[in-house]
């Protein structure tokens, strides 16, 4: 059975059996490395009273990793899938007082009520590639509006690769990664499918991400880039002069 996402349904993320399998799998090595860096950035830039907004929080694995470094962290965790949120509540039960869970669709951000705003950190981990391009732009504008003046948006996501011109070079990197990380064929190669083939995978290329951040008043920097995964930090642009 094909479980498809649409702008208004959680698709495969609303399917308990699919989520159970997804949640039980270890985090892929590239993502794990970037999440470790992300947790360090948050820890080193933490201030008392800060809050983290995680948009597309999934089953709470990112929060768990951050709590491992920063037990005082406080989150608002938003996701469209009640199933994902159920797993997240269970995973983060020991920190229940520090997490507020919200069922929200990132296609309808006007309905998201956030009395905790502005946020020092807004996380977008492996969710932007699931949104249409207009929704991506709306999401980044929303981040800008809800970010503290010295806050950071932290995005971890796959990026579209230039397979038309550089397939051979990318395949060589893929083989090296499979060899180094012990991942099996297929586990890292989803980026080789036409990104528009699956309606839940619409990644931007790196330059499109950077342009989209700038277009909504955020100054981005690539903190880590390896193959098809990028960690990008962005802060509000400062007016010059």
Ligand X SMILES: C[S@@+](CC[C@H](N)C(=O)[O-])C[C@H]1O[C@@H](n2cnc3c(N)ncnc32)[C@H](O)[C@@H]1O
Window of 50-58, 66-74, 160-168, 214-222 that interacts with ligand X by CB under 6 A = 50-58
Out of 30, 76, 127, 155, which residue is the one contacting ligand X (CB under 6 A)? Answer: 127
Which residue carries 């990644």 as its tokens?
Answer: 203
- Choice from 30, 52, 73, 84 touching ligand X (CB under 6 A): 84
What is the Cα 234 distance to its own chain's centre?
A: 13
Contacts of 112 (CB under 8 A, 6+ apart): 78, 102, 104, 142
The terminus-to-terminus CA distance of the chain in angstroms comes to 58
What are the DSSP calls for 203-217, one per residue?
Answer: PPPHHHHHHHHHHTT
Interaction of residue 126 with ligand X, rule CB under 6 A = yes
- Residue numbers 56-75 binding ligand X by CB under 6 A: 56-58, 61-62
Q: Which of 125, 95, 123, 120 is nearest to 32 (CA)?
A: 125
101 or 213: CB nearest ligand X: 101
204 forms bridges with which residues in the sheet? Answer: none
Nearer to ligand X, 52 or 79 (CB): 79
Q: Under the criterion CB under 6 A, does residue 201 sit at the interface with ligand X?
A: no
3-state secondary structure of 59: coil
Does residue 136 belong to the site contacting ligand X (CB under 6 A)?
no
The reply to whether 157 sits near ligand X by the rule CB under 6 A is no
Counting contacts by CB under 6 A, is residue 53 touching ligand X? no
Enter the DSSP assignment of 5.
Answer: -
Nearer to ligand X among residue 91 and residue 144 (C-beta): 91
Structure tokens at 187: 């586990």
Size of the site for ligand X (CB under 6 A): 18
Residue 81 near ligand X by CB under 6 A: yes
- Residues lying near ligand X in the complex (CB under 6 A) are found at 10, 13, 56-58, 61-62, 79-81, 84, 105-107, 125-127, 130
């Amino acid at each position: 059975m094909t479980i498809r996402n649409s702008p208004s349904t959680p698709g495969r993320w609303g399917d308990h059996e699919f989520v159970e399998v997804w949640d039980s799998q270890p985090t892929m090595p590239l993502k794990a490395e970037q999440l470790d860096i992300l947790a360090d950035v948050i820890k080193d830039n933490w201030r008392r009273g800060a809050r983290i907004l995680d948009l597309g929080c999934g089953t709470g694995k990112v929060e768990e990793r951050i709590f491992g470094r920063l037990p005082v962290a406080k989150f608002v965790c938003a996701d469209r899938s009640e199933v994902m949120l159920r797993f997240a509540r269970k995973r983060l039960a020991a920190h229940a007082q520090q997490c507020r869970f919200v069922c929200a669709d990132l296609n309808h951000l006007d309905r998201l009520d956030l009395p905790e705003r502005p946020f020092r950190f807004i996380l977008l981990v492996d969710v932007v590639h699931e949104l249409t391009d207009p929704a991506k732009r709306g999401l980044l504008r929303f981040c800008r509006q809800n970010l503290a003046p010295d806050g950071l948006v932290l995005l971890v996501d796959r990026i579209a690769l230039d397979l038309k011109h550089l397939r051979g070079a990318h395949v060589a990197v893929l083989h090296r990664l499979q060899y180094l990380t012990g991942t099996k064929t297929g586990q890292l190669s989803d980026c080789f499918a036409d990104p528009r083939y699956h309606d839940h995978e619409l990644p931007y290329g790196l330059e499109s991400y950077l342009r989209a951040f700038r277009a909504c008043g955020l100054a981005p920097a690539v903190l880590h880039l390896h193959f098809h995964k990028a960690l990008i930090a962005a802060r509000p642009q400062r007016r010059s002069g």
